[in-house]
């Protein structure tokens, strides 16, 4: 009986995972399609997200602009 309960619990987990994936896709599309440049950092000054317009606006290297990069490192790359 315990195995059966675990097996039936997979459906809701998959449904929630699919809903989360779809929500993330909508969020990513909204960020990428906005007309302004956007870059967000956490309390430790590590980048969380940025869009292509931000990269283009400040003429940054897209290969460098990955989540987790420190703000200081972005500045260093922009002056090199």
- Write out pLDDT tens, residues 33-80: 999 999 999 999 999 999 999 999 999 999 999 999 999 999 998 887
Q: What is the pTM of this model?
A: 0.72
Owner of token pair 């420190």: 70
Q: Return the pLDDT at 8.
A: 60
Q: How confident is the model at residue 12 (pLDDT cuts 50, 70, 90)?
A: confident
How many Å separate Cα 69 from the centre of its chain?
12
Q: Name the 3-class secondary structure at 32.
A: helix
Q: How confident is the model at residue 4 (pLDDT cuts 50, 70, 90)?
A: low
Tell me the average pLDDT across 28-36.
95
> Which of 30, 32, 73, 71 is closest to 53 using CA atoms?
32
How crowded is residue 70: how many other Cβ atoms within 10 Å of its Cβ? Answer: 13
């Amino acid at each position: 009986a315990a195995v059966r309960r675990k097996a039936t619990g997979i459906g809701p987990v998959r449904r929630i995972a699919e809903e989360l994936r779809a929500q993330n896709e909508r969020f990513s599309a909204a960020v990428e399609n906005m007309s302004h440049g956007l870059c967000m950092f956490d309390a430790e000054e590590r980048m969380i997200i940025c869009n292509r317009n931000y990269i283009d606006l400040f003429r940054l290297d897209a290969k460098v602009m990955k989540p987790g990069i420190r703000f200081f490192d972005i500045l260093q790359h922009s002056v090199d």
